[in-house]
Amino acid sequence: MKSKLFTFIILAASFLFISCNSDRDRAATGTGSAEVSEARIDSLLNLMTLEEKINLIHASSSFTSGGVERLGIPELVFSDGPHGVRHEHGRGWHALENYDDEATYLPVGISLASTWNKDFGYRYGEVLGNEAKERGKNVLLGPGINIIRSPLNGRNFEYLSEDPYLTGAMGVGYVQGLQAQGVAACPKHYAANNQETDRHNIDALISRRAMHEIYFPGFKAVVRDGGAWSIMGAYNKINGQYTTHHEYLNNVVLKGEWGFDGVVISDWASVKDTREALLYGTDIEMGTELLRDFDNPVYEEFYMANPAKEMIESGEIAESYVDDKVRRILRLMMRTTAMTDHGEGKRNVEEHQQTALEIAREGIVLLKNDGLLPLDRNEIRTVAVIGHNATRHFAERGGSSQVRALYEVTPLEGIQNLVGNDVEVIYAEGYEPYYDESLFADIRGDAASQSRENVRDVELARSANQQLMQEAVELAERADAVIFVGGWIKGHEGMPWGEGTYDAEARDKLNLKLIFGQEELIQQINAVNSNTAVVLMGGSNVEMDNWLPDTPAYVHAWYPGMEGGRAIAEILFGDVNPSGKLPMTFANSHEDYPSHSIGEFPGDGTVDYAEDIYVGYRYFDTHDRPVHFPFGFGLSYTTFEFSDLKVTREGDKVVVESTVTNTGEREGAEVVQVYIHHKNPSVDRPIRELKGFDKVHLDAGASATVKIELDESAFMFFHPEQNEWVLESGAYEIQVGNSSRDIKLNEEVVL
């Protein structure tokens, strides 16, 4: 009777905490501090046995962690992924068939970052939060915010940028939008999970300065400004210790310096040691069955289950370590839909699809246009659409970020829907994907042991593609204009999962060469039709030297989500003016990137981040190295002028004001980027660092004054010897431009 009374009291008490303040306020308050009663957390904790506490700190199924039924504490329910709520797996590892789990498939992370539109971060998270809530999920396993250190990383499409400031700015909105719906964000993977090769064991050797200036800031922003309620550890080690239970990363930095009061969730099977997990900040262990027998998981044998209980009972480790984990987990539960009513969710609604469309439109980057674009549907009688990616669906491929999209508009459908009544649209596949060992870093991790099935005979596939190419070139010859849609594919082709790997989890690429004979195909199309626009998809760039010079126009579309085909068509035919900007540098070969020319990639056992802080434009611009398209670059169908730079001091802030004018014939959007350059630093520093940006939409002839405030942290660097952030007095240049290599205005300020 007594326990039932207790249960009743607890249950009754838990409903007293249905928060009444507005959702948006809830998520936007500092380090995740939503309406939660610490007193109630302590009272629940005091009622728990050690057994029950241990139950909370590890998985109870593939995507749930344990609860305490006696006390009315539910399981926590997790779901991937960063750009859409994943298929339903139930409590196992096989997606349930015939399950109502269609979802909104948003443009992938790097597409979102390419918009440079902070409002989109919030709206993106809002869609995910609503759809996760409707599916009964408490924690959405995103955003993916690892820095793009090499263009070969198979998961770059899931991430945001090579730059930590842009990563943080887009990640903060995403976290706030998501959590405003009562679903916890789980920014991942903390930290320096910058490759997929040997991901479970690779040991990244990184200086403290590079950690703090490059690999931490995105996480710091989503924790301190975004208020993330949870964070996901990574598989890899840093300087010898697994990141998921890393004393410096978790205890000193995350929970210490940054004051993170949420939950550190492991990556799935990233916990490798009981003692370290208990002492060094892991709060929930998930997915360990993946490295054991995942069809017959024994959760009691998890590192943070019986082995942990024994360490506590033996006195080797104090129970207070477990108590801290339990407090964090209860705090998370009370912040989320797990224990608080956040209202109904909604899924597959028109407003979500509209958000997907708007982000796709602004995330597509126009990189070259000699005047061919926009195509004029009144001038063109026949347009040839060529390329496998013009008809391929991407949503369900690529690994854990897969989504069962309600629909996916392909580029061919987008073009047909937009201009099909005015223009004859003809199509040829041009090439067919095949699996080719020589294209990929061999795996040394979770799939190496699996024998490859249905690997296509590469030679057979290549000869079949010769035939497809011939048919495509003949089509190109008789069209007024050609739209080629190619690039990478997101998914696994030839691997036991039914396909191998191109842009996907658990694999990296070996190089950036255009695959499946596309280079020759583009050359042949250019030879017969001088009105060819190339549209490439992919989570990174491809080598361009052999086809770009003869190509009149090139658009990079990443993986633009379920409305991507429509957005691509609207841009090519001018209904939408492109405004995307590159969130990563497009050099020609992977060997040009500092992670390959100075550092190591992918390493072997250890991977030396010898390039240190010189990642992306910090390297290319400082060393004036040639690139095809710089960080922050993107063209428009109109022109903009920058003027009237004013740099003033307001308290401890430096205020940067500039005017942007649309000097062209049509509306458009421009991104004002603010970089700082420290003129005489006591240690080496990059020639410039992005510290602020804003996007302005302007009608033809209109102007806007953009005001960006820099606080003193914008000028600091992490001192390599003193191992702390320092602000050095002296002269700094404030550089305002629309790419890292197109600085329009420049003003000196002395601090």
Nearer to ligand GLC, 24 or 89 (CB): 89
80 binds ligand GLC (CB under 6 A): yes
- Complex with ligand GLC: residue 235 or 614, whichever CB lies closer: 235
- Closer CB to ligand GLC, 225 or 267, in the complex: 267
Residue 607 beta carbon to ligand GLC: minimum distance, rounded to whole angstroms: 17
Instruction: Mention every residue, 6+ apart, whose C-beta is less than 8 A from residue 15.
Output: none
CB of 620 to ligand GLC, least distance (A): 29
- Shortest distance in whole angstroms from residue 20 CB to ligand GLC: 32
Greatest alpha-carbon span in the chain: 86
Angle subtended by helix axes 518-528 and 458-477, to nearest 10: 20
Q: Is 224 helix (H, G, I), strand (E, B) or coil?
A: helix
Q: Least distance in Å: CB of 446 to ligand GLC?
A: 8
Give the shortest CB-137-to-ligand GLC separation in angstroms: 12
Taking the least distance from each CB to ligand GLC, the nearer of 131 and 267 is 267
DSSP 539: S
Amino acid in position 182: G
Separation of CA 170 from chain center? 9
267 binds ligand GLC (CB under 6 A): yes
Report the alpha-carbon distance of residue 748 to residue 751 in Å, rounded.
10
Rounded CA-CA distance 361/259 in Å is 37
Closer to ligand GLC by Cβ: residue 53 or 149:
149
| Helical axes 118-134 vs 350-363, angle rounded to 10° | 150
Binding-site string for ligand GLC from residue 469 to residue 508, where x marks contact by CB under 6 A and - marks none? ----------------------------------------
HSE of 342, CA atoms in CB hemisphere, 13 A: 33
> Least Å distance between CB 62 and ligand GLC?
8
Omega of the bond leading into 81 within 30 degrees of 0 (cis): yes
Nearer to ligand GLC, 304 or 698 (CB): 304
- CB count, 10 Å around CB of 257? 12
Name which of residues 530 to 559 contact ligand GLC (CB under 6 A).
Answer: none
Give the separation between CA 34 and CA 455, rounded to whole angstroms: 51
Determine the straight-line distance between the first and last CA of the chain, rounded to whole angstroms.
69
The dihedral sign for the CA sequence 519, 522, 524, 530: negative
Residue with Cβ nearer ligand GLC (116 or 268): 268
Smallest distance, ligand GLC to C-beta of residue 583, A: 19
CA gap 393, 411 in Å, rounded = 10
Q: Are 605 and 452 in contact (CB under 8 A)?
A: no
Residue 370 a catalytic site member: no
Tell me the closest approach of the beta carbon of residue 445 to ligand GLC, in angstroms.
10
Contact 352, 83 (CB under 8 A): no
Least distance (Å) between residue 274 CB and ligand GLC = 20
Single out the residue of 574, 538, 544, 577 nearest to residue 558, CA to CA: 538
Q: Min. distance of Cβ 88 from ligand GLC in angstroms?
A: 13
Residue with tokens 């096989």: 94
Closest CA to 636 of 539, 742, 537: 742
DSSP, collapsed to helix, strand or coil, labels residue 670 as strand
Residue 254 is given by DSSP the state I
CB of 141 to ligand GLC, least distance (A): 4
Which of residues 123, 135, 149, 188 is near ligand GLC by CB under 6 A?
A: 188
CB of 38 to ligand GLC, least distance (A): 29
Give 80 or 543: the residue with its C-beta nearer to ligand GLC: 80
Helices 217-224 and 164-179: crossing angle, nearest 10°? Answer: 30
Catalytic residue among 267, 283, 612, 621: 267
Tell me whether residue 305 is exposed, middle or buried, using C-beta atoms within 10 angstroms of its C-beta: 0 to 12, 13 to 18, 19 or more.
buried
Spatial contact of 607 and 205, defined as CB atoms under 8 Å apart:
yes
Beta bridge partners of 658: 706
Q: How many residues bind ligand GLC (CB under 6 A)?
A: 6
Judged by beta carbon, residue 158 or residue 563, the one nearer ligand GLC is 158
Alpha-carbon Rg for the chain, nearest whole angstrom, is 26
The whole-angstrom distance between residue 498's C-alpha and the CA centroid of its chain comes to 25
**Measured from the CB of residue 267, what is the shortest distance to ligand GLC in angstroms?**
5
Q: Mark residues 126-145: x for contact with ligand GLC by CB under 6 A, - for none.
A: ---------------x----
Region of 223 on the Ramachandran plot (φ > 0 left; ψ -120 to 50 alpha; else beta): alpha
Helix-strand-coil split of the chain, %, nearest 5: 30, 20, 50
| Nearest residue (CB) to ligand GLC, 193 versus 340 | 193
Residue 196 in contact with ligand GLC, rule: CB under 6 A: no
- Decide whether 187 or 374 has the Cβ nearer to ligand GLC: 187
Tell me whether residue 183 or residue 364 sits nearer to ligand GLC (CB atom): 183
Given the complex with ligand GLC, which of 161 and 529 has the nearer CB atom?
A: 161
Burial 573-588 (b: 16+ CB within 10 A, else e): beebbbbbbbbbbbbb
Buried/exposed 693-714: b ≥16 CB within 10 Å, e otherwise: bbbbebeeeebeebebebeeeb
Write the CB contacts of 351 (distance below 8 Å, at least 6 apart in sequence).
none
Q: Enumerate binding residues for ligand GLC (CB under 6 A).
A: 80, 141, 188, 267-268, 400
Active-site positions read 267
